[in-house]
A and B are shown apart, each in its own frame.
Chain A
Amino acid sequence: MNATFRPAGDLFSELNRLQSVLDQLFRPAERSSIRALTGASFPVINVGTTPDTIEVMALAPGLDPAGLQLSIDRGLLVISGERKSELPEMGDNISVYAQERFAGNFRRVVSLPDEADPGKVDATYRDGILRITVAKRESSRPRRIEVS
Protein backbone atom coordinates (compact mmCIF):
# COMPACT_ATOMS: atom_id res chain seq x y z
CA MET A 1 0.00 0.00 0.00
CA ASN A 2 1.37 3.35 -0.97
CA ALA A 3 1.11 5.48 2.15
CA THR A 4 2.62 8.75 1.03
CA PHE A 5 0.38 11.79 1.09
CA ARG A 6 1.16 14.13 -1.72
CA PRO A 7 0.53 17.72 -0.73
CA ALA A 8 -2.83 19.21 -1.67
CA GLY A 9 -3.34 20.48 -5.19
CA ASP A 10 -5.54 17.56 -6.05
CA LEU A 11 -7.59 16.89 -2.97
CA PHE A 12 -10.29 14.94 -4.75
CA SER A 13 -7.97 12.40 -6.27
CA GLU A 14 -6.47 11.96 -2.79
CA LEU A 15 -9.94 11.29 -1.43
CA ASN A 16 -10.64 8.81 -4.21
CA ARG A 17 -7.39 7.08 -3.43
CA LEU A 18 -8.31 6.93 0.24
CA GLN A 19 -11.67 5.47 -0.72
CA SER A 20 -10.04 2.73 -2.76
CA VAL A 21 -7.66 1.93 0.12
CA LEU A 22 -10.65 1.61 2.43
CA ASP A 23 -12.50 -0.52 -0.12
CA GLN A 24 -9.50 -2.81 -0.19
CA LEU A 25 -9.40 -3.05 3.58
CA PHE A 26 -13.07 -3.85 3.91
CA ARG A 27 -13.29 -6.15 0.95
CA PRO A 28 -15.20 -9.23 2.00
CA ALA A 29 -12.88 -12.08 2.85
CA GLU A 30 -15.37 -14.87 2.30
CA ARG A 31 -16.23 -16.21 -1.11
CA SER A 32 -18.88 -14.18 -2.86
CA SER A 33 -20.85 -14.38 -6.07
CA ILE A 34 -19.07 -12.99 -9.10
CA ARG A 35 -21.97 -10.59 -9.70
CA ALA A 36 -22.10 -9.43 -6.10
CA LEU A 37 -18.85 -7.52 -5.92
CA THR A 38 -18.91 -4.28 -4.01
CA GLY A 39 -19.01 -1.04 -5.84
CA ALA A 40 -20.97 2.14 -6.02
CA SER A 41 -24.43 0.95 -6.77
CA PHE A 42 -27.94 2.21 -7.16
CA PRO A 43 -30.36 0.83 -6.24
CA VAL A 44 -29.24 -0.99 -3.12
CA ILE A 45 -30.50 -4.58 -3.18
CA ASN A 46 -31.50 -7.18 -0.62
CA VAL A 47 -32.26 -10.75 -1.61
CA GLY A 48 -34.03 -13.29 0.52
CA THR A 49 -35.88 -16.56 0.23
CA THR A 50 -39.04 -18.00 1.70
CA PRO A 51 -40.08 -21.63 1.29
CA ASP A 52 -42.16 -20.67 -1.77
CA THR A 53 -40.48 -17.62 -3.28
CA ILE A 54 -37.34 -15.65 -3.87
CA GLU A 55 -37.69 -12.03 -2.82
CA VAL A 56 -35.61 -9.23 -4.31
CA MET A 57 -35.98 -5.79 -2.77
CA ALA A 58 -34.43 -2.79 -4.44
CA LEU A 59 -34.32 0.47 -2.52
CA ALA A 60 -34.99 2.82 -5.39
CA PRO A 61 -36.74 5.96 -4.18
CA GLY A 62 -38.16 8.60 -6.48
CA LEU A 63 -38.56 6.56 -9.64
CA ASP A 64 -41.27 6.73 -12.24
CA PRO A 65 -42.49 3.11 -12.45
CA ALA A 66 -43.07 3.60 -16.18
CA GLY A 67 -39.38 4.22 -16.71
CA LEU A 68 -38.32 1.11 -14.87
CA GLN A 69 -37.35 -2.00 -16.82
CA LEU A 70 -37.30 -5.46 -15.42
CA SER A 71 -36.28 -8.55 -17.29
CA ILE A 72 -35.34 -12.12 -16.61
CA ASP A 73 -33.08 -13.84 -19.05
CA ARG A 74 -31.41 -17.17 -18.42
CA GLY A 75 -31.63 -16.88 -14.67
CA LEU A 76 -30.50 -13.26 -14.54
CA LEU A 77 -32.86 -10.66 -13.19
CA VAL A 78 -31.99 -7.26 -14.62
CA ILE A 79 -33.32 -4.05 -13.07
CA SER A 80 -32.58 -0.96 -15.11
CA GLY A 81 -33.91 2.51 -15.66
CA GLU A 82 -33.12 6.12 -15.17
CA ARG A 83 -33.50 8.46 -12.25
CA LYS A 84 -33.68 12.06 -13.29
CA SER A 85 -31.98 14.71 -11.24
CA GLU A 86 -34.49 16.88 -9.42
CA LEU A 87 -32.10 19.77 -9.14
CA PRO A 88 -33.24 22.81 -11.10
CA GLU A 89 -31.35 24.04 -14.11
CA MET A 90 -28.44 26.13 -13.08
CA GLY A 91 -29.62 29.71 -13.14
CA ASP A 92 -28.48 33.05 -11.91
CA ASN A 93 -30.19 32.82 -8.57
CA ILE A 94 -29.80 29.16 -7.75
CA SER A 95 -27.13 27.78 -5.47
CA VAL A 96 -26.68 24.06 -5.04
CA TYR A 97 -25.27 23.08 -1.65
CA ALA A 98 -25.47 19.31 -1.76
CA GLN A 99 -25.86 16.82 -4.55
CA GLU A 100 -25.56 13.43 -2.94
CA ARG A 101 -28.55 11.65 -4.41
CA PHE A 102 -27.99 9.37 -7.35
CA ALA A 103 -29.01 10.64 -10.77
CA GLY A 104 -28.61 8.99 -14.14
CA ASN A 105 -28.98 5.57 -15.66
CA PHE A 106 -28.69 2.51 -13.51
CA ARG A 107 -28.58 -1.22 -14.05
CA ARG A 108 -28.35 -3.98 -11.52
CA VAL A 109 -28.18 -7.68 -12.16
CA VAL A 110 -29.14 -10.41 -9.72
CA SER A 111 -28.47 -14.03 -10.54
CA LEU A 112 -31.43 -16.08 -9.47
CA PRO A 113 -31.01 -19.57 -8.08
CA ASP A 114 -31.86 -22.55 -10.28
CA GLU A 115 -35.16 -23.19 -8.59
CA ALA A 116 -36.56 -19.78 -9.64
CA ASP A 117 -39.51 -19.93 -12.02
CA PRO A 118 -39.15 -17.03 -14.48
CA GLY A 119 -42.76 -17.49 -15.52
CA LYS A 120 -44.12 -16.46 -12.13
CA VAL A 121 -42.81 -13.04 -11.26
CA ASP A 122 -44.63 -10.31 -9.45
CA ALA A 123 -43.27 -6.79 -9.00
CA THR A 124 -44.63 -3.92 -6.92
CA TYR A 125 -43.30 -0.45 -6.24
CA ARG A 126 -44.27 1.20 -2.98
CA ASP A 127 -42.68 3.96 -0.88
CA GLY A 128 -39.62 3.82 -3.07
CA ILE A 129 -39.01 0.10 -2.67
CA LEU A 130 -39.26 -2.16 -5.68
CA ARG A 131 -40.17 -5.61 -4.52
CA ILE A 132 -39.87 -8.50 -6.92
CA THR A 133 -41.25 -11.86 -5.95
CA VAL A 134 -40.14 -14.81 -8.05
CA ALA A 135 -41.91 -18.09 -7.35
CA LYS A 136 -39.90 -21.24 -6.88
CA ARG A 137 -40.58 -24.16 -9.14
CA GLU A 138 -43.11 -26.58 -7.81
CA SER A 139 -40.62 -29.42 -7.97
CA SER A 140 -38.03 -27.60 -5.86
CA ARG A 141 -40.33 -26.75 -2.96
CA PRO A 142 -39.78 -28.68 0.23
CA ARG A 143 -42.31 -31.44 0.63
CA ARG A 144 -43.01 -34.24 2.94
CA ILE A 145 -42.52 -37.75 1.80
CA GLU A 146 -44.83 -40.21 3.35
CA VAL A 147 -43.36 -43.50 4.42
CA SER A 148 -45.79 -46.29 3.75
Chain B
Amino acid sequence: MSSELQTSERNMPKQMSDEQAGNQPFIVPPVDVFEDESGITLLADLPGVSRDRLGVRVDGESLLLEATASTAQPENMQLIYGEAQYPSYRRQFTLSRELDASRIEASLKDGVLKLAIPKLEEAKPRRIDVRVG
Protein backbone atom coordinates (compact mmCIF):
# COMPACT_ATOMS: atom_id res chain seq x y z
CA MET B 1 0.00 0.00 0.00
CA SER B 2 2.81 2.37 0.81
CA SER B 3 4.31 2.21 -2.67
CA GLU B 4 0.96 3.08 -4.18
CA LEU B 5 0.70 6.04 -1.88
CA GLN B 6 4.08 7.32 -2.91
CA THR B 7 3.12 7.13 -6.55
CA SER B 8 -0.05 9.02 -5.92
CA GLU B 9 1.80 11.75 -4.07
CA ARG B 10 4.31 12.10 -6.85
CA ASN B 11 1.52 12.54 -9.36
CA MET B 12 -0.23 14.98 -7.15
CA PRO B 13 0.44 18.35 -8.83
CA LYS B 14 -0.90 17.01 -12.11
CA GLN B 15 -4.05 15.60 -10.57
CA MET B 16 -4.68 18.56 -8.35
CA SER B 17 -4.31 21.17 -11.09
CA ASP B 18 -7.87 20.72 -12.30
CA GLU B 19 -9.24 21.42 -8.86
CA GLN B 20 -9.44 24.60 -6.91
CA ALA B 21 -7.25 22.98 -4.26
CA GLY B 22 -4.16 23.91 -6.24
CA ASN B 23 -0.90 22.87 -4.65
CA GLN B 24 -2.02 23.24 -1.10
CA PRO B 25 -0.38 20.94 1.38
CA PHE B 26 -2.55 18.24 2.87
CA ILE B 27 -2.57 15.69 5.63
CA VAL B 28 -2.48 11.99 4.84
CA PRO B 29 -5.05 10.71 7.35
CA PRO B 30 -4.30 7.62 9.44
CA VAL B 31 -6.41 4.58 8.57
CA ASP B 32 -7.33 1.16 9.88
CA VAL B 33 -8.00 -1.44 7.21
CA PHE B 34 -9.26 -4.94 7.82
CA GLU B 35 -10.84 -7.69 5.80
CA ASP B 36 -13.37 -10.34 6.67
CA GLU B 37 -15.40 -12.71 4.56
CA SER B 38 -17.81 -10.08 3.30
CA GLY B 39 -15.29 -7.46 2.30
CA ILE B 40 -12.86 -4.80 3.37
CA THR B 41 -13.58 -2.16 5.99
CA LEU B 42 -11.60 1.07 6.05
CA LEU B 43 -11.69 3.58 8.90
CA ALA B 44 -10.09 6.97 8.45
CA ASP B 45 -9.61 9.79 10.97
CA LEU B 46 -10.92 13.00 9.43
CA PRO B 47 -11.50 15.40 12.34
CA GLY B 48 -13.47 18.53 11.47
CA VAL B 49 -14.95 17.08 8.30
CA SER B 50 -18.69 17.22 7.78
CA ARG B 51 -20.55 15.22 5.15
CA ASP B 52 -20.69 17.98 2.57
CA ARG B 53 -16.94 18.52 2.75
CA LEU B 54 -16.03 14.92 2.09
CA GLY B 55 -15.42 13.33 -1.29
CA VAL B 56 -15.00 9.61 -1.83
CA ARG B 57 -14.31 8.86 -5.46
CA VAL B 58 -13.79 5.59 -7.23
CA ASP B 59 -12.23 5.69 -10.65
CA GLY B 60 -11.51 2.27 -12.04
CA GLU B 61 -9.40 0.60 -9.40
CA SER B 62 -8.45 3.78 -7.60
CA LEU B 63 -10.19 4.97 -4.46
CA LEU B 64 -9.59 8.58 -3.54
CA LEU B 65 -10.52 10.20 -0.25
CA GLU B 66 -10.52 13.97 -0.21
CA ALA B 67 -11.87 16.15 2.54
CA THR B 68 -11.62 19.62 3.96
CA ALA B 69 -11.99 20.35 7.63
CA SER B 70 -13.96 23.32 8.78
CA THR B 71 -11.60 25.29 10.95
CA ALA B 72 -14.43 25.87 13.47
CA GLN B 73 -12.66 28.79 14.99
CA PRO B 74 -13.75 32.37 15.52
CA GLU B 75 -12.79 34.88 12.84
CA ASN B 76 -10.74 37.04 15.12
CA MET B 77 -8.77 34.20 16.67
CA GLN B 78 -5.03 34.45 16.75
CA LEU B 79 -3.24 31.13 16.77
CA ILE B 80 -0.67 30.89 19.53
CA TYR B 81 0.17 27.19 19.36
CA GLY B 82 -0.64 24.93 16.44
CA GLU B 83 0.02 21.26 15.89
CA ALA B 84 -2.58 20.86 13.15
CA GLN B 85 -2.00 23.22 10.30
CA TYR B 86 -3.44 22.05 7.01
CA PRO B 87 -7.19 21.67 6.93
CA SER B 88 -7.27 19.31 3.96
CA TYR B 89 -6.97 15.56 3.87
CA ARG B 90 -6.15 13.36 0.95
CA ARG B 91 -5.31 9.71 0.53
CA GLN B 92 -5.49 7.29 -2.34
CA PHE B 93 -5.75 3.52 -2.45
CA THR B 94 -5.79 0.90 -5.13
CA LEU B 95 -8.68 -1.52 -4.99
CA SER B 96 -8.34 -5.03 -6.24
CA ARG B 97 -10.51 -6.67 -8.84
CA GLU B 98 -12.56 -8.88 -6.56
CA LEU B 99 -13.97 -5.87 -4.71
CA ASP B 100 -17.31 -4.43 -5.76
CA ALA B 101 -16.64 -0.70 -6.06
CA SER B 102 -20.23 0.02 -7.05
CA ARG B 103 -21.58 -1.05 -3.67
CA ILE B 104 -19.25 0.82 -1.33
CA GLU B 105 -21.06 2.12 1.72
CA ALA B 106 -19.70 5.19 3.44
CA SER B 107 -20.65 6.63 6.79
CA LEU B 108 -19.16 9.53 8.69
CA LYS B 109 -19.53 9.94 12.42
CA ASP B 110 -17.63 12.19 14.81
CA GLY B 111 -14.89 12.75 12.27
CA VAL B 112 -14.34 9.09 11.48
CA LEU B 113 -15.10 7.84 7.98
CA LYS B 114 -16.08 4.21 7.67
CA LEU B 115 -16.07 2.60 4.26
CA ALA B 116 -17.45 -0.87 3.73
CA ILE B 117 -16.20 -2.27 0.45
CA PRO B 118 -17.96 -5.54 -0.31
CA LYS B 119 -16.53 -8.36 -2.36
CA LEU B 120 -18.15 -9.44 -5.58
CA GLU B 121 -20.51 -12.33 -5.02
CA GLU B 122 -18.38 -14.72 -7.05
CA ALA B 123 -15.29 -13.72 -5.09
CA LYS B 124 -16.70 -14.63 -1.69
CA PRO B 125 -15.19 -17.70 -0.15
CA ARG B 126 -17.17 -20.85 -0.72
CA ARG B 127 -16.90 -24.18 0.81
CA ILE B 128 -16.11 -26.78 -1.75
CA ASP B 129 -17.49 -30.15 -0.98
CA VAL B 130 -15.25 -33.03 -1.66
CA ARG B 131 -17.14 -35.99 -2.92
CA VAL B 132 -15.90 -39.39 -2.18
CA GLY B 133 -16.49 -41.38 -5.28
Residues of A at the B interface (CB closer than 8 Å) are 33, 36, 41, 43-51, 53, 55, 57, 59-63, 85-88, 91, 93-102, 125-129, 131
Contacts and interface: CB of A to CB of B under 8 A. Distances in A.
Contacts of B50: 127
Interface string B73-91: 1101111111110000000
A93 B36 CA distance: 6
29 contacts: A36-B81, A41-B83, A44-B83, A46-B73, A46-B81, A48-B73, A48-B80, A50-B74, A50-B77, A55-B74, A61-B46, A61-B111, A62-B45, A87-B34, A93-B125, A94-B36, A95-B34, A97-B33, A98-B1, A98-B32, A98-B33, A100-B32, A101-B31, A101-B45, A127-B50, A127-B110, A128-B45, A128-B112, A131-B72
A113 to B, nearest CB: 9
B60 interface: no
Interface in B82-133: 82-84, 109-112, 125
Given A47-B81, A59-B84, A98-B31, A128 B72 contact: no
B65 interface: no
A101 B30 contact: yes
Interface of B: 1, 30-37, 40, 43-50, 69-70, 72-74, 76-84, 109-112, 125
Contacts of B31: 98, 100-101
Give the interface SS of chain B, mostly helix, strand, loop or mixed: loop
Contacts of A36: 81
Nearest to A133: B74
Contact of A63 (B33, B37, B40, B110): B110
Contacts of B33: 96-98
Contacts of A62: 43, 45, 109-112
A109 B94 CA distance: 39
Nearest to B50: A127
